[in-house]
Amino acid sequence: MKQQLYEVWGDTVDSRHLGYSILIGAVVSLSAFFIAQHVLLGWVASAQMARAYAMLVGILGCLGAGAISACLFKPKRIVVEHQADPAQRALLLQELKEEFGDLGTLADLPASTVTELKEMDLYELFAAEERAASSVRAEAPHANTLAVPPAALAVKGGRP
């Protein structure tokens, strides 16, 4: 049977699996509720409390239905272990520069943040970028001023 995938409520589902899951949710939770209500009404003195407890059992039934559906139907997600690769990082720096304009200098950072960057192997990335930027500045001061976007954009954090 071929999968029929749809995006419902923020994630992908298979339409047949969704149908069965809804059925399971209805049957399991309502049976739990009605059986509990039937038993408890004869057993607990106050009818109102009996119904409140029956609702609790019904909610446990919902969780049970969820567990059954989780066992029967596997997620329709492709999960990959993601490792940021150096080429992508260089691209990202470019993106950050476009958004924020000036990346700032490492000399501005408190010691703890410098240590943090070194632990993450990010220090060299920013240091190299800074060296490149300062050499560009030395060669062509005009080009650099043009590359800095208007101040309004920087204050907004570059949000569109």
Q: Assign 154 to helix, strand or coil.
A: helix
Tell me whether residue 8 or residue 136 sits nearer to another protein (CB atom).
8
Tell me whether residue 50 or residue 142 sits nearer to another protein (CB atom).
50
Question: Token pair for residue 147?
Answer: 């590359």
Backbone angles phi, psi at 105, to 5 degrees: -115, 150
Query: Nearest distance from residue 143's CB to another protein, in Å?
Result: 20
Nearest to 107 by CA among 92, 117, 98: 117
Query: Nearest distance from residue 37's CB to another protein, in Å?
Result: 8
Tell me whether residue 45 or residue 142 sits nearer to another protein (CB atom).
45
Query: Nearest distance from residue 150's CB to another protein, in Å?
Result: 14
C-alpha distances out from residue 113 to 38, 55, 96, 100, 128, Å: 63, 52, 18, 19, 17
Query: Nearest distance from residue 41's CB to another protein, in Å?
Result: 13
